[in-house]
Protein backbone atom coordinates (compact mmCIF):
# COMPACT_ATOMS: atom_id res chain seq x y z
CA UNK A 1 0.00 0.00 0.00
CA UNK A 2 1.30 3.41 -0.88
CA UNK A 3 2.16 5.92 1.84
CA UNK A 4 -0.61 8.38 1.02
CA UNK A 5 -3.18 5.61 1.31
CA UNK A 6 -1.87 4.68 4.75
CA UNK A 7 -2.00 8.33 5.77
CA UNK A 8 -5.74 8.45 5.10
CA UNK A 9 -6.76 4.86 5.84
CA UNK A 10 -5.19 4.41 9.29
CA UNK A 11 -7.29 7.13 10.99
CA UNK A 12 -10.32 5.99 9.02
CA UNK A 13 -9.90 2.41 10.24
CA UNK A 14 -9.56 3.70 13.81
CA UNK A 15 -12.78 5.71 13.41
CA UNK A 16 -14.60 2.65 12.04
CA UNK A 17 -13.42 0.55 14.98
CA UNK A 18 -14.70 3.12 17.50
CA UNK A 19 -17.96 3.73 15.61
CA UNK A 20 -18.88 0.03 15.83
CA UNK A 21 -19.34 0.56 19.56
CA UNK A 22 -21.90 3.34 18.96
CA UNK A 23 -25.39 3.17 17.43
CA UNK A 24 -25.45 3.61 13.65
CA UNK A 25 -26.43 7.05 12.41
CA UNK A 26 -25.47 7.16 8.72
CA UNK A 27 -28.36 7.74 6.32
CA UNK A 28 -26.67 5.91 3.45
CA UNK A 29 -25.50 2.46 2.45
CA UNK A 30 -22.56 1.98 2.34
CA UNK A 31 -21.87 4.14 5.37
CA UNK A 32 -19.99 7.39 4.86
CA UNK A 33 -16.81 5.96 6.38
CA UNK A 34 -16.96 2.85 4.18
CA UNK A 35 -17.66 5.03 1.12
CA UNK A 36 -14.62 7.15 2.00
CA UNK A 37 -12.47 4.07 2.53
CA UNK A 38 -13.41 2.67 -0.89
CA UNK A 39 -12.56 5.97 -2.56
CA UNK A 40 -9.15 6.21 -0.90
CA UNK A 41 -8.35 2.60 -1.82
CA UNK A 42 -9.29 3.04 -5.48
CA UNK A 43 -8.84 6.74 -6.34
CA UNK A 44 -6.25 9.46 -6.23
CA UNK A 45 -6.26 11.28 -2.88
CA UNK A 46 -7.56 14.61 -4.18
CA UNK A 47 -10.50 12.98 -5.96
CA UNK A 48 -11.24 10.77 -2.96
CA UNK A 49 -11.17 13.76 -0.60
CA UNK A 50 -13.59 15.77 -2.75
CA UNK A 51 -16.04 12.87 -3.24
CA UNK A 52 -15.92 11.93 0.45
CA UNK A 53 -16.48 15.50 1.58
CA UNK A 54 -19.49 15.87 -0.73
CA UNK A 55 -20.93 12.61 0.60
CA UNK A 56 -20.50 13.64 4.25
CA UNK A 57 -22.18 16.97 3.51
CA UNK A 58 -25.17 15.06 2.08
CA UNK A 59 -25.50 12.88 5.19
CA UNK A 60 -28.08 14.99 7.03
CA UNK A 61 -31.84 15.46 7.43
CA UNK A 62 -32.18 17.48 4.21
CA UNK A 63 -31.38 14.44 2.05
CA UNK A 64 -33.34 11.20 1.93
CA UNK A 65 -30.33 8.89 2.15
CA UNK A 66 -30.53 5.36 0.76
CA UNK A 67 -28.17 3.31 -1.39
CA UNK A 68 -25.34 5.42 -2.82
CA UNK A 69 -22.44 3.43 -4.24
CA UNK A 70 -19.26 5.27 -5.22
CA UNK A 71 -18.92 6.04 -8.92
CA UNK A 72 -15.41 5.87 -10.37
CA UNK A 73 -13.71 6.43 -13.68
CA UNK A 74 -12.27 3.00 -14.46
CA UNK A 75 -10.64 1.40 -17.48
CA UNK A 76 -10.96 -2.40 -17.35
CA UNK A 77 -7.85 -4.43 -18.20
CA UNK A 78 -7.60 -5.90 -21.70
CA UNK A 79 -7.10 -9.50 -20.62
CA UNK A 80 -8.53 -10.86 -17.42
CA UNK A 81 -7.98 -14.39 -16.21
CA UNK A 82 -10.93 -14.88 -13.89
CA UNK A 83 -10.05 -18.49 -13.08
CA UNK A 84 -6.84 -17.45 -11.34
CA UNK A 85 -7.99 -14.15 -9.83
CA UNK A 86 -11.55 -14.98 -8.73
CA UNK A 87 -10.52 -15.53 -5.09
CA UNK A 88 -8.67 -12.20 -5.05
CA UNK A 89 -11.59 -10.01 -6.16
CA UNK A 90 -12.28 -7.32 -3.58
CA UNK A 91 -14.47 -4.92 -5.58
CA UNK A 92 -16.90 -5.37 -8.45
CA UNK A 93 -17.21 -2.61 -11.06
CA UNK A 94 -20.75 -2.36 -12.45
CA UNK A 95 -21.05 -0.22 -15.62
CA UNK A 96 -22.94 3.06 -15.34
CA UNK A 97 -22.15 5.05 -18.49
CA UNK A 98 -19.12 5.45 -20.77
CA UNK A 99 -16.08 4.79 -18.58
CA UNK A 100 -17.88 5.31 -15.24
CA UNK A 101 -18.63 2.39 -12.95
CA UNK A 102 -20.41 1.77 -9.67
CA UNK A 103 -18.09 0.20 -7.09
CA UNK A 104 -19.53 -2.65 -5.02
CA UNK A 105 -17.46 -4.46 -2.39
CA UNK A 106 -17.41 -8.26 -2.40
CA UNK A 107 -17.90 -9.16 1.26
CA UNK A 108 -18.20 -12.86 0.41
CA UNK A 109 -14.49 -13.05 -0.36
CA UNK A 110 -13.66 -12.35 3.29
CA UNK A 111 -16.01 -14.88 4.87
CA UNK A 112 -14.08 -17.92 3.61
- pTM of the complete model: 0.75
CA distance 71 to 39: 9
Task: Check pLDDT > 50 for residue 34.
Answer: yes
For the chain, domain boundaries: 3-110
The model's confidence at residue 81, banded by pLDDT at 50, 70 and 90, is: low
Structure confidence at residue 112 (pLDDT): 47
The DSSP secondary structure of 48-61, one letter per residue, reads HHHHHHHHHHH-ST
Is the alpha carbon torsion for 107, 97, 71, 85 positive or negative?
A: positive
- The per-residue pLDDT for 42 is 86
Q: What is the Cα–Cα distance from 109 to 76, expressed in whole angstroms?
A: 20
Q: Model confidence over 41-59: pLDDT tens digits?
A: 888 888 989 999 999 998 8
- What pLDDT is attached to residue 89? 73
Amino acid sequence: MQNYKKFYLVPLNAYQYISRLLPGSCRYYPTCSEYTKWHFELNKPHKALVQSTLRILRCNQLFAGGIDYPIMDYTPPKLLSLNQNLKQIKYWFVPKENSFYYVIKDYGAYSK
